[in-house]
Amino acid sequence: MSVENSTNDLSTGWFTEVFQNEGTAFSLKVKAKLHEEQSEYQKLEIYETETFGNLMVIDGCVMLTTRDNFLYHEMMTHPALFTHKNPKKVVVIGGGDCGTLKEVLKHPGVEEAWQVEIDERVTRLSEKYFPELCESNEDPRANFFFGDGIKWMADAAPNSIDIIIVDSTDPVGPAEGLFAVDFYRNCMVALREGGIVVQQSESPLLHTDSIIKNVQKDMRDAGFESVRTLPFPQPVYPTGWWSATMAGKNHVLKYFREEDAEQRPFVTRYYNKKVHQAALALPQFMRDILHTE
Amino acid sequence: MSVENSTNDLSTGWFTEVFQNEGTAFSLKVKAKLHEEQSEYQKLEIYETETFGNLMVIDGCVMLTTRDNFLYHEMMTHPALFTHKNPKKVVVIGGGDCGTLKEVLKHPGVEEAWQVEIDERVTRLSEKYFPELCESNEDPRANFFFGDGIKWMADAAPNSIDIIIVDSTDPVGPAEGLFAVDFYRNCMVALREGGIVVQQSESPLLHTDSIIKNVQKDMRDAGFESVRTLPFPQPVYPTGWWSATMAGKNHVLKYFREEDAEQRPFVTRYYNKKVHQAALALPQFMRDILHTE
């Protein structure tokens, strides 16, 4: 099948991510490649796009853009923090771009936040190319550890953490061990009573019957009594539709602090109380596959 | 910027839609082009894709695929029909693929449904390549008119219709007159008391401050007292995130028939009562731009 006119030619001036297994591709028009390096762990690229601000690419996969990362970062953070009764210590596993950490630190009740990222170069590049995501990095509550998140969690003191946010890449390669019952068991041990773990869990359309179902099962097998998946839009990821799966130690996911969410003392662009409630409403096909509300 | 490896080469075996103004492109891997014609109104193409079933393209723009059209068709239909107290006569303007008509006819209370599509060839191709969307075309309640929807609505008998669903292409070219206060005024006249008009209103991320805001304003200027925009996922459209905007004659949008939605006597894949409630929750940036809940 030949390209029929030159306006469809993406070979010059575009960054394209091809999802071979999904039979789809997504492209962003780029002005310039700002940076490229092979870190100890992966290939990192930064582009300046025409319409989505800066773009970070890891091993060929779109990680985030300036324009739409707020959707993901807000939904990985605020539903969990407004569900927990009083989160004081929050740990982000992965999340090297610092966007999740920034959202966590918006909560005045948080006393201590950790970002445990394997690749320090991701954070250094984010400081340079996504400075708005790093604006809380000097917050005295912010702590950084660059190393293996799986090992960090295995070594964490029992009953020491209120919320664990697993802000990882896809469940292949380095992140595979973060989508595993052993990891969630270590999270369970490290969490205090009423603690919550959140995992990015890929696309509702593509992965409900595979990754999402498996993440839910692994979390339950690890001893978490309540599990909920929250879909949200994320234009630069496959299908433009993504999800976070939360699991609670004890039955903590039944309610959230609606009044606190409504009165939140900080700015959000996607999240609000009603959006939180809405994210808990699963499409019918997800309910059917996951046998849940 | 050169393509770095052959797996990113989309020049062969892919259908690509480039959104030049948005600086993005979306591609689907195709097995074959099944059909191509220039109808009286537009260029129509049908492809067989690797993973999304069949694909209909009009004038180079993705219209629908077998795999994900249920999201759009359900959300263009069921929120309006479960908001109206007792919809008996429903008119679809556009919607030549018959998918919206099919969803409308799932409601047992509907006595008469019209599909007013300008291009009969769209419907004929849908019968052949999307037969599942046309399975209610023989329903005795189904009526078809192939011609200009703008003129049809201007000529419609006053106080004769309960719900008008504007299932159109983008607001450029033939569909431009459907995104206009004059058209909505004619809808207002044609609707009975408590009537509802629904318009597909493009992407929340891209168009809240332009098309969505204008559609809401035009609907209010046409005399509709209540207006709500409902976002939903739609992977094959730009950003993977789309919206429907409903307007009610009188204050009919405040409640919907929740119990009837819960007890609906038909199968849906996206829609359910909680999804309906959820779609009414606007992201914070939309609330800020539209000055609404």
The answer to whether residue A10 scores a pLDDT higher than 80 is yes
Known binding residues of A for spermidine are 73, 97, 167-170
As a whole number of angstroms, the distance between CA B223 and CA B244 comes to 19
Instruction: Pick out the residues of the known binding site of A.
Output: 42, 73, 97, 117, 148-149, 167-170, 174
Given a cut of 50, whether residue A124 has pLDDT beyond it is: yes
* CB < 8 Å to A30, chain B: 1
Statement: residue A120 has pLDDT above 60: yes
Contact residues on chain A for B1, CB-CB shorter than 8 A = 12-15, 30, 33
Token pair listed for A248: 């609670």
Instruction: Judge whether residue A197 has pLDDT over 60.
Output: yes
User: Which range, of B80-94, B103-117, B160-174, averages the lowest pLDDT?
Assistant: B160-174
| pLDDT surpasses 50 at B113 | yes
Residue B154, min C-alpha distance to chain A (Å): 37
Q: What gap in Å lies between CA B74 and CA B68, rounded to an integer?
A: 11
Cα atoms in the 13 Å half-sphere on the side-chain side of A36: 7
CB-nearest to B11 from A11, A30, A279 is: A11
* Predicted local confidence at residue A9, as pLDDT: 79
What's residue A143's pLDDT?
A: 98
> How close does chain B come to A6, measured CA to CA in Å?
10
Query: In this model, does residue A224 exceed pLDDT 50?
Result: yes
The predicted-structure confidence for B176-198, as pLDDT tens digits, reads as follows: 888 889 999 999 999 999 999 99
Give the pLDDT mean for B51-64. 97
Q: Which of A73, A260, A288 is nearest to B267 (CA)?
A: A288
Q: Write out the two tokens for B198.
A: 């629904």
Q: B14 and A1: CB-CB below 8 Å?
A: yes
* E strand segments, chain B: 14-19, 24-38, 43-49, 54-58, 61-65, 89-94, 112-117, 142-146, 161-167, 191-200, 226-233, 241-248
Q: Of all residues in chain B, what percent carry a pLDDT higher than 90?
A: 89
- For residue B272, the chain A residue with the least C-alpha distance is A284
pLDDT of A178 over the 90 cut:
no
Mutate to test the interface with B, among A5, A11, A59 (most CBs of B within 10 A): A11
Phi and psi torsions of A230, nearest 5°:
-115, 110
Identify all chain B residues contacting A13, using CB atoms and an 8 Å cutoff.
1
CA B250 to each of CA B62, B92, B197, B225, B253: distance values in angstroms, whole numbers, following the listed order: 36, 21, 12, 5, 8
Per the CB < 8 Å rule, is B25 touching A14? yes
The pLDDT confidence band at residue A7, using thresholds 50, 70 and 90, is low
Confidence of residue A171 (pLDDT cuts 50, 70, 90): confident
Name the band, by pLDDT with cuts 50, 70 and 90, for residue A3: very low
Question: CB B3 to CB A11 under 8 A?
Answer: yes
Give the active site residues of B: 167
Domains in chain A: ranges and CATH: 5-65 (2.30.140.10), 69-287 (3.40.50.150)
Which residues, at least 6 apart from A97, have a Cβ–Cβ distance to it below 8 Å? A56, A63, A64, A69, A122, A123, A126, A130, A133
Q: Residue B252 has what pLDDT? A: 76
Annotated binding-site ranges of A for S-methyl-5'-thioadenosine: 42, 117, 148-149, 174
pLDDT in tens, B74-98: 999 999 999 999 999 999 999 999 9
pLDDT of residue A154: 96
The DSSP code sequence of A205-270 is: HHHIIIIIHHHHHHHHHTT-SEEEEEEEE-TTSGGGEEEEEEEESSSTTS---HHHHHT-SS--SS
**What pLDDT was estimated at residue B178?**
85
> Annotation-wise, does B168 bind a ligand?
yes
Contact A12 B1 (CB under 8 A): yes
Yes or no, beta carbons of B293 and A274 under 8 Å apart:
yes
CA-closest candidate to residue A104, choices A163, A175, A190: A163
Residue B79 in contact with residue B270, Cβ under 8 Å? no
Q: What are φ and ψ of residue A188, in 5° steps?
A: -55, -45
pLDDT in tens, B204-241: 999 999 999 999 999 999 999 999 999 999 999 999 99
Residue A254's pLDDT is 83
DSSP letter at B19 equals: E
Task: State the nearest Cα–Cα gap between A71 and chain B, in angstroms.
Answer: 9
Of A29, A240, A274, the CB nearest to B233: A240
Between B225 and A174, the more confident residue is: B225
> B23, A269: Cβ pair inside 8 Å?
no
The band of B7, judged by pLDDT with boundaries at 50, 70 and 90, is low
Average pLDDT over residues A71-81: 98
Q: How far apart are CA B244 and CA B252, in angstroms?
A: 16
Measured distance CA(A33)–CA(A140) in Å, rounded: 34
